[in-house]
Structure 1
Amino acid sequence: MSDFDLTQKYRDLWIQCENCYFLNYKKLLKAKMNICEQCGDHLKMSSSDRIELSIDPGTWDPMDEDMVSQDPIQFDSEEEADFDLDLEEKRKTGLTEAVQTGTGQLNGIPIAIGVMDFQFMGGSMGSVVGEKITRLIEHATNKFLPLIIVCASGGARMQEGSLSLMQMGKISSALYEYQSKKRLFYVSILTSPTTGGVTASFGMLGDIIIAEPNAYVAFAGKRVIEQTLNQTVPEGSQEAEYLFEKGLFDLIVPRNLLKSALSELFKLHAPFFFESKC
């Protein structure tokens, strides 16, 4: 039996680390927050697991769960005659879109949070993703809630053309109202990968920007840059640690310390929320 056959046979039991290729037992990996037992690399994590990690038990209240795309540009796949490209993602993830939004409590602090899911069409930002995040920001603005958006995306969704690019401006406009006019507090969390239109918009607009260790963060990917400019991109130049040295982020926080770090940040900024309500 080939290595590929073995991988396929046991893929539901083990997850291979992309950094050191160590096989992590799936049931134990979740308890360790999807951090590789061998090298400590932060593996990809579903949006549901991130919500479970961040939000106090019993406090999660989702928003706009049933919102789905209506195929605005009548995109037709070569393989399928209708717009059911995301059916496999819906079956695989149990989600209707590439982001989950809602409210909850983080160590007792009421917050609004959006969590992107890379397993759903590469976390691509289509019109529904943009609308859900915009509504979340507007809700946080009206209720004077601190805001968290966890980014994990390949960028704008090509199947929706320029309409997906419009979401960048729409979300940024809602954030302007939230941050500049209401003076509320937004934390952007960049996980691996965060690229394209998400990096070029709300991913980099946080009052505090936090990256996970070794997160791949870029606008254009390494391959695209090299093919377009015919230049070699230095190894590691699009990873969180290198970018942190260049001043792109405020913090790099390991996943197991993230909830406590967020709690401290919100407590520090608590007076601003009380002032905003007055």
Structure 2
Amino acid sequence: MNKLVASPAEAVADIGAGSVLAVGGFGLCGVPFELIDALLAQGTDGLTTISNNCGVDDQALGVLLYAGRIRRTISSFVGGNKELARLYLSGELEVELTPQGTLAERLRAGGAGIPAFYTPTGVGTMVADGGIPIRYDAQGEVVEVSRPKEVREFDGRQYVLETALTADFGLVRAAIGDRHGNLVFHESARNFNPLAGMAARVTIAEVEELVEPGEITPEDVHLPGVFVDRVVVVGGDRKPIENRTTRPRPAAGTADTAAPAAAGEEATGGAA
């Protein structure tokens, strides 16, 4: 039952070329940075990643993208990464775009052993009808597009059939974990992390704080240890902010209740 491993490098050592990865995180919030960096250092390539977004420029999954390690990504939002756009349009990367809620449900279904499900999301669009570019060639011509999906009517409303997603490995980041693999995610970091952990054959969790088994009450567990195979402690210092905006401090003696108390700064897209 002791699932602790000594380092991120040891935790990802058996992730081989061509593996499919389900990766937690939203923007830079709840991203398993240390596991991604260990995978980068290891040199694994030909990867398929399943994640809400494929990192941002040179951060999170973006470091693997810039290094040419990702062959295909299944994502919802890819607009925050200029390198992804370049690779996609030049034929060096395959991109399967999926509506955000549908992506979450496809991962959940994979973890629950449900092969497919019907959803109204995407009916009447290219999501259902097909034709979304998946792959371009070096000349910028579309060479592969998404296929049409089955649409059925239930109680007078149309639904599109979406298939489940599973992965060889899941990479997640948790605020608290124990050596049995039970995990707790901090606030908005509980985004795609539980789903990525459920959908993978082998799930690896980097945790900020390790506690003893039993210290996490059952009702507080967000991802049970039955879904988690390895736990590595990384600490909680690394929490980059995706977009930072600032404004001048108010003049001395001027009331400004809207200004943050400490530094006159407000951050958006931060990591929890």
TM over 0.5: no
Higher RCO (CA < 8 A, seq sep 6+): 2
Tell me which protein shows more strand as a share of its residues.
2
Larger Rg: 2
Tell me which protein shows more helix as a share of its residues.
1
